[in-house]
Every structure is written in C-alpha cells, then in structure tokens.
C-alpha cells in the first residue's frame, strides 16, 4: 500500500472479462493466435472494415462547408432521431405517425441502455428489471448502477443449446406485475439463440397480460439475418398492439461505427402528450451526464438513411457481412462433422448473429488458449466474425482436441 497517496488503499480491479480476452491475445507472440473474443466484424483476411457507404458519407460531410461543429441539442441530431425510429419501428409505424415515440441520440447501445435505465429508476413505479440468463456481461452492471434491482429469467438451455422457452414463460409469469423485462431484439448475445415469431407472440401476450414493461436492446438489426425488417419483427410486434416499450439501438455493428459511439433510445408512449413529457424528463437525465451527444457519427447515419441510393448501398454491404458470418457457421459445422468431433454441433448453424455459444466449458476453453492460442470468453462464446476460411481448420482441430480430452 502506498501510504503517501490518498488513493493508496484502492485495490486493483479485475480486467473486463470480454475486453480482457483481447489484452491476453495481444500479449501472445504466437503466429497462429486467433482472437474470437471481440464483438467486432472482421473481413475474411481478419481485418477491421469501414463500409464503403460510410466512407462516402464522411466524404460528403467533409466537403460540405455548411457542416459545423457546434453543440447538438441535448436530445441529439433531429434527423438522426427521426430516421432511427423509422428504421426500427418501420416507415409506416402508427406510433410514429401519432407522434407517440420519443427518440434521443445516445452513446451507442450502452449509453442508450443507461439513459433508459436512469429514466426508469427516477420515473417508473416498479424498480425491478428481469434480464435473460445468460446475457451480455454489461447489462447487470448498467441497470444496477442506474438504481434498478436486477433479477434473471431462464433463457438458454445447455442441454439443447437452444431456448428454454418453458422456463422463460414460467419466470416471466411469476414476475411481479409492472416489472421491466430486458429483451434482445434479435441475435441474442452471448447465445445466438432467438425465439421464433410464434414464441415472440406468446411472450408478448404474457407480458401485456401482466403489465410487464418491455425494454428491447437492438444491437444487431440487419446484422443477424441480413434483413433490417426481419430483425426488427420482435420490436414491431410489441409496438403494433398500441402498448408502451423502450428500445435501445446501436449502429456499432450494422454500420461498423463502433468507435463513433452512435445509438438511440426510443420510448413508445400511449399518447403524444405523454411522449412530450417523457422527452422533457429524458433531457434532465442526459444534461448532467454528458450534456449532449457527439455530432460526427450521427451525421454519418443520417446522411446514409435519408438518401435512398446510399441506404440501398448500405443494405447490400450489411447483407454481405451477415452472409459471411452465416457461411462461417456452415464451414465450422461442416469441418467438425467431417472430423467426426464427438457431440451434436448443429446448434452452430441454428444460432444467429455474431456469436456462437459453443457449449465448451471453461476447462476446454483454457486448454484451447494454452495449446492452440485461441482466445475466447470462458463461457465458450466465440465471435463468428473473427473466423475465416483459413482459420476454421485450426479452430476445428482445437475444439476436437478439447472435446476429446475433456469430454
């Protein structure tokens, strides 16, 4: 302990379990090392990518002399907010037409969740939020720090490597009336397991009958299936019944704007009057937190979404990213099948989105890191976007060895 420092008693915090994987990977000198921990898209060559349409939008912004760097309003860029709501709820959404939606620009998905959670902690009558078991590691921290009490509902079934739908319905059925429920709009992180549309409809009916408040986290719209509309179906089902809900949106994955921190929080209200009062209170949450959001990333998104040619170009690039990930799933499944690796690996092609929940345990993961220099989170989650045709054989060998040795 450094007795001369006022901070001398501070203990070292553990590494973030997800970001810590990259730290360990960076220290490894092996030429065969493979990082499957990070939730960011990579090309077949393993390189980060900036979408062509994003470069084009940035060029337009740079060349536009009327673009200034003044502060945005507290709620962010008006065009961006309007277009973001349209993207998730649909161009013909009655909620938008009736001015019942309030949208505020936030700092990507994390910031949108945090602003929404702080708002609920101040203004909602039930301070309990139910999150799926498992879920993204940051979810419980965000909600707890905002002042909500976090409980879990059953979601993943390790036996089938699919959805524990019965458990989910039982747990939500037992939740107190009015509780908040966090739902992954699509491409559930970390499992890649999503409810079917029929199951979503059952979830909606149950939640509405009990007055549970849906809070959607939409981090992968268009990135999961390749279709922006298909990936928004869960959200639109809930909005179509005229009920209220919250939606956090991120453009990190689907526009590759990770480091620009671009996102939005939308709250669908019963009436236009309620929406306007909700917006006034959201401003009071945001102002002492970060005053107002950054301008550059939101301007890129607005530029792309309001120009039909650029929008179409974006959907093509987005589908190409989604398709590459889907093809990696197929290649990995085929390679494991060809090698005769023990067990059923069909969940790899059934799951959707950036991640696969392999079913590997922490002992098997540690073995793969030590012997094969493959880095992933200890729960066996791998980022399919970090894989390529060249690295599938190496991963297959590692999984085969791990499963054979620690069956």
Q: What are phi and psi of 207, to 5 degrees?
A: -65, -40
Percent helix, strand, coil in the chain (nearest 5)?
50, 15, 40
Residues 6+ apart with CB under 8 A from 232: 87, 88, 89, 90, 185, 186, 218, 221
Residues 6+ apart with CB under 8 A from 293: 72, 76, 77, 105, 106, 107, 111
Q: How many CB atoms lie within 10 A of CB 343?
A: 12
**Is residue 253 annotated as a catalytic residue, yes or no?**
yes
In the numeric block, the tokens 């309620």 are attached to 274
Active-site option among 217, 231, 314, 345: 217
Rounded to the nearest 10 degrees, the angle between the axes of helix 78-89 and helix 296-306 is 60
Give the Cα separation of 249 and 265 in Å (integer).
6
Give the Cα separation of 332 and 349 in Å (integer).
9
In angstroms, the Cα distances linking 328 to 11, 203, 314, 321 are 42, 31, 21, 11
The β-bridge partners of 375 are: 35
Q: How many CB atoms lie within 10 A of CB 236?
A: 16
**Is residue 136 annotated as a catalytic residue, yes or no?**
yes
Cβ proximity of 249 and 222 under 8 Å:
no
Give the Cα separation of 311 and 91 in Å (integer).
14
Active-site option among 136, 200, 314, 345: 136
Active-site option among 171, 194, 231, 253: 253
Decide: helix, strand or coil at residue 294: coil
Give the Cα separation of 118 and 336 in Å (integer).
45
* Of 318, 189, 316, the residue nearest 253 (C-alpha): 318
Structure tokens at 364: 């098997």
Strand residue runs (E) in 198-341: 213-218, 245-250, 262-268
Catalytic residues: 136, 217, 253
């Amino acid at each position: 302990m450094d007795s001369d420092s006022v901070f001398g008693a501070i203990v070292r915090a553990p590494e973030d379990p997800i970001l810590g994987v990259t730290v360990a990977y960076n220290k490894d000198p092996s030429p065969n090392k493979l990082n499957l921990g990070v939730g960011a898209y990579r090309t077949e060559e393993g390189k980060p990518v900036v979408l062509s349409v994003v470069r084009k939008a940035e060029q337009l912004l740079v060349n536009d002399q009327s673009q200034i760097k003044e502060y945005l309003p507290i709620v962010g860029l008006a065009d961006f907010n309007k277009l973001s709501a349209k993207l998730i709820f649909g161009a013909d959404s009655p909620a938008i037409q009736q001015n019942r939606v309030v949208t505020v620009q936030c700092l990507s998905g994390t910031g949108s969740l945090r602003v929404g959670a702080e708002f609920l902690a101040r203004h909602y009558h039930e301070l309990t939020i139910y999150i799926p078991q498992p879920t993204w590691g940051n979810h419980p921290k965000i909600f707890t720090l905002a002042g909500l009490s976090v409980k879990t509902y059953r979601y993943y079934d390790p036996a089938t490597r699919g959805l524990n739908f019965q458990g989910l319905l039982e747990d939500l059925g037992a939740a107190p009336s009015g509780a908040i429920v966090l739902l992954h709009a699509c491409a559930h992180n970390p499992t890649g397991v999503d409810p079917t549309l029929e199951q979503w409809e059952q979830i909606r009916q149950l939640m509405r009958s009990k007055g549970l408040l849906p809070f959607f986290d939409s981090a992968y719209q268009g990135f999961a299936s390749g279709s922006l509309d298909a990936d928004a179906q869960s959200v639109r089902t809930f909005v179509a019944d005229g009920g209220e809900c919250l939606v956090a949106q991120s453009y990190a994955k689907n526009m590759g704007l990770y480091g620009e921190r671009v996102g939005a929080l939308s709250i669908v209200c019963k009436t236009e009057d309620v929406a306007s009062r909700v917006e006034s209170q959201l401003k009071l949450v945001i102002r002492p937190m970060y005053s107002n959001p950054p301008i550059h990333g939101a301007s890129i998104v607005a530029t792309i979404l309001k120009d039909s040619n650029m929008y179409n170009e974006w959907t093509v690039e987005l589908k190409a990213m989604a398709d590459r990930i889907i093809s990696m799933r197929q290649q990995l499944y085929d390679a494991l099948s060809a090698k005769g690796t023990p067990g059923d690996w069909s969940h790899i092609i059934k799951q959707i989105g950036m991640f696969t929940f392999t079913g590997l345990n922490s002992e098997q993961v540690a073995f793969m890191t030590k012997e094969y220099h493959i880095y992933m989170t200890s729960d066996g989650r791998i980022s399919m976007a970090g894989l390529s045709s060249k690295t599938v054989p190496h991963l297959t060998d590692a999984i085969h060895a791990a499963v054979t040795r620690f069956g």
